[in-house]
Structure 1
């Protein structure tokens, strides 16, 4: 293994790795990695993307323009949008950009973790490089297990089928599928091993710092229903960074048409990652929110009023009650799949609510709402029950954590609890009168919530099995 330290080629990986050995000859396109600083620099990966197209419409918050559904041959978007369990998703998922990207990143992190100790450089920088790579490896495994497996359920996680875990850089490895519990155990171990070596202020926005690490730790505990640990980790994260962007004041200043807030100027961002790339919100017309979410925002929420359009007939159906994101990334950087400080507040609020600390939960929500609600009821009253408080937390999560993975993951985890499970009902079309309106239903236990592994992955790892009851007809 040490022989590859002189010249290292960072390659995309789709589950089984080539058995070819690296040599001391520099291949075309190789990346020179010799020193500890070189390995540390590998952690920085601008424009890191996680496409959500395999599941973006399996939620109650997103919508499709009617002309993109009516009269169009079925594709994965239409199957998901109409909650169609009769159609074969596996026939259409010949490959998955999200899956392949996530494992390519994991291969990158494993390269650093496995090889940096043999490089020439300062021991403390080696430890920092490994720690940052472990946090990112944990994050990628977290995204994968929550997409391709059941949500974590303490009663079944030890037997629920998970994902393949990649824990080291090994050209000859043939990964074996884990359970959901195995995946979460690795994720938590990576986080806990990384935190003691991370910095309060990372070298740049593409390196993880302690506020991000503790926020992510809080999120993992929340998903595992370890609420006391989630609360403690969220408080720790906020002790490093609790800055919220004041959208109420921003509204008074004229918003994104007057005052630009590029990525470097948004103090809420804990990790710069994207669905497709840093320019993605320049194409915000692709992200139409549902009438249900539009109604949930109300009329005095800056999160809606600053960034959404309801009147452009080119990008939405007038009369449908929908809206689309209309502000370019150059005018306001809108985080989608990375973590941001408002999520830490929301994790803390939920942890308090779960522990029946309802006053603390609502006080935490109100710290966020005072920066978001421009008039009317800003401070919420404390409800009488955990369920009522949780409903308020869930509503704030829907309004704050738009696009990306969050609502999809939330529906999955809440659906494992009777009090919070939701049957999503979608009536469509809302405007077109030439076709009959139909009602589409997504039940809490629908197999659609588990995305099947794509065909290219299954072909390369014959030991890998689906976590749904679908059948693959290989193309």
Structure 2
């Protein structure tokens, strides 16, 4: 193994935030010195960790955009995605994906910790904990990437489908090999399974992964593989550590975010504090993060999830009722989007019950969530449907209303599109308000290549062996 000192200069490339400065001794020459296991353990905590979604968000049917951002503007990735234009390669419009590059930077960080922890000075218990926590976040980041840049997991083809590069060690000089989708998922589950025995129920701070988060992520991985028995088992395990649901009905009675602040670190249902770009999670780019009318129509007039945090009026919409946007400051109420929270675990459990035909249990979970979301009690409890399909439709709708922004709706579209009974062709009519142009209908088919992002040109130039999983042509 390389000695600890050999990595000191390289640390400059992966220690990314000022929040870590208190753990580091910066020499006059700019070298960062990590001396102990405690130092490396503290590096796992990364407040402000961001996962930008702006380059692909408009593929989801929940999202909308200001008409002026499309009409009269040159062709770009925004209008390619919003208007579902698959006529040419997206590589003509994007040289690099900020999400891709940022996520691999985080993976380098976790690999650095995993690589150095063995020979650092300190207690074996801290070494085991730091190693385990870094592997959990490494699993999360690989899961994110494989679900953006590769085909949705299909047990029949996963061993043949091109995936992403697995980065399992800290080596800035290596040119990684592209793994299959099956290999990436196996790597993710191995990291989680071997890390979980060493994790804590209540970590040092909210930026360290807890047991509840790790089990929730494991449930999500199995759910995406359609291993519903394993997903249910992991979801129940996660909920055994944290099953909190923040009561928005009571919160509304107290006056909501204008009266009572619920900033990051306060909401007990949050399992992981990650952000779309940084700390401005909720009010980030209000004019860009808009909901479609089709989506907002899913909310009843008594749904606190909408009434507390969103509006259909103001400068950020083209016309009343055409769309909605979040008008709540992140300091007033932290709403996880790219991370995970306990309501997602409840919804995964409900889906697993529905899939196995246990419709009563599925609806019991759904109604327990709705009881803390719907301000009219008589509306909160839904009757148990007669079929799996009808129950799943409720689960899917609740997932849409609960898991806002971020990746979840796009990922749900991808995985449900592999099942004919749940597949959806998205239909968009545009423009809605502007009358200078004729309205046209745009559609996104369930098997569209747009659901798979191509690797960026910057990455493809550095690693020519990579094959674009969406099949889009290279511009050279």
Normalising by the smaller structure, the TM-score range is over 0.9
**Structure 2: distance between partners of 1:106 and 1:353:** 35
Match of 1:412 among 411, 414, 417: 414
User: Mean Cα displacement is larger for which, 388-397 or 369-378?
Assistant: 369-378
In structure 2, what is the equivalent of residue 32 of structure 1?
33
In structure 2, what is the equivalent of residue 365 of structure 1?
366
- The number of residues matched between the two structures is 462
In structure 1, what is the equivalent of residue 447 of structure 2?
445
**Structure 2: distance between partners of 1:433 and 1:58:** 24
Deviation at 1:11, TM superposition (A): 5.0
Deviation at 1:27, TM superposition (A): 9.0
Contact 2:452-2:470 at 8 Å conserved across structures: yes
Q: Please show how residues 3-402 of structure 1 align to structure 2 within 5 Å.
A: 3-4=4-5, 7-10=8-11, 12=13, 28-283=29-284, 284-312=286-314, 314-375=315-376, 376-402=378-404
In structure 1, what is the equivalent of residue 19 of structure 2?
none
**Structure 2: distance between partners of 1:3 and 1:180:** 33
SS in 2 for 1:426: strand
Contact 2:312-2:321 at 8 Å conserved across structures: no
Distance change (3 Å), C-alpha of 1:3 and 1:295: closer
Deviation at 1:98, TM superposition (A): 0.5
User: Mean Cα displacement is larger for which, 222-231 or 317-326?
Assistant: 317-326
Distance change (3 Å), C-alpha of 1:29 and 1:395: farther
**Structure 2: distance between partners of 1:133 and 1:48:** 14
Contact 1:90-1:454 at 8 Å conserved across structures: yes
Distance change (3 Å), C-alpha of 1:11 and 1:80: farther
SS in 2 for 1:152: coil
In structure 1, what is the equivalent of residue 22 of structure 2?
none
Deviation at 1:406, TM superposition (A): 0.3
**Structure 2: distance between partners of 1:28 and 1:377:** 65
Deviation at 1:12, TM superposition (A): 4.7
**Structure 1: distance between partners of 2:149 and 2:470:** 9
Distance change (3 Å), C-alpha of 1:285 and 1:294: same
Contact 1:280-1:329 at 8 Å conserved across structures: yes
Distance change (3 Å), C-alpha of 1:123 and 1:147: same
In structure 2, what is the equivalent of residue 455 of structure 1?
457
Cα offsets for 1:245-280 (capped at 9, x unmatched): 100011111100111111121111100001111113
> What's the C-alpha RMSD, in Å, of the aligned pairs?
1.5
**Structure 1: distance between partners of 2:462 and 2:122:** 37
Distance change (3 Å), C-alpha of 1:244 and 1:3: closer
Cα offsets for 1:340-375 (capped at 9, x unmatched): 011010110011111111111110111110000111
Deviation at 1:31, TM superposition (A): 2.2
Contact 1:60-1:290 at 8 Å conserved across structures: yes
Cα offsets for 1:48-68 (capped at 9, x unmatched): 011112210001100001111
**Structure 2: distance between partners of 1:297 and 1:358:** 23
Unaligned runs of 5+ in 2: 15-25
Cα offsets for 1:191-246 (capped at 9, x unmatched): 00000000010000100010101111111110011101111111111110111110
Cα offsets for 1:123-173 (capped at 9, x unmatched): 010000000000000000000000000111111111111000001112332
Contact 1:211-1:241 at 8 Å conserved across structures: yes
Deviation at 1:385, TM superposition (A): 0.8
SS in 1 for 2:428: strand
SS in 1 for 2:297: helix
Deviation at 1:6, TM superposition (A): 7.2
Contact 1:160-1:180 at 8 Å conserved across structures: yes
**Structure 1: distance between partners of 2:457 and 2:383:** 51
